[in-house]
Structures are given as structure tokens and as C-alpha cells.
Amino acid sequence: MEKLIEILEDLQPEVDYETNEELIDGRYLDSLTILSLVSEIEDEFDVEIPTVEIIPDNFNSAKKIWALIERLKEE
């Protein structure tokens, strides 16, 4: 999860990703940032995030993003 936090901080440095659970709802991440994030995650973790998985619930916190990555790695 450390690498995920690094990626997030590179994209949007002023957010506390350890505690924030409203990345989408609180408008910390916008659609362009999410597209960049998806690309970075796919490259870094060797997973493919299907379009149907790019929903606010999967991206509202670093923990939820990490859970998505873990789930996709298992598939």
C-alpha cells in the first residue's frame, strides 16, 4: 500500500491519504486525476482495471483502492 500512497501523493500531494475516506465525495480526486491514477496503478501493480470498476465506491479512499488492487491481482 506504500507504493499506492506514493502514487496518490504524486498526483495530489495536499491530501492525507492515510485517513481520508472521501477522495471522490470530497472532490479531492477529479475525473482526470482518476484516469491518471488508473494508468499508474495498472503499470505499477500489473493489473487491468475494467471500466465497470471505475466507480466512486472503489476510489473513495486509499484503503478501497488497495482492496480493488488486491482483488484484481487475485483474479
What is the pLDDT, as a whole number, of residue 3? 97
The CATH number of 2-74 is 1.10.1200.10
pLDDT of residue 35: 96
Average pLDDT (15-23) is 96
Summary mean pLDDT of the chain? 96
Instruction: Enter the pTM of the model.
Output: 0.94
Q: What per-residue confidence (pLDDT) applies to 19?
A: 96
pLDDT recorded at residue 6:
97
- Least Cα distance to 29 among 48, 52, 10 occurs for 10
Residue 10 makes CB contacts below 8 A (sequence gap 6+) with 40
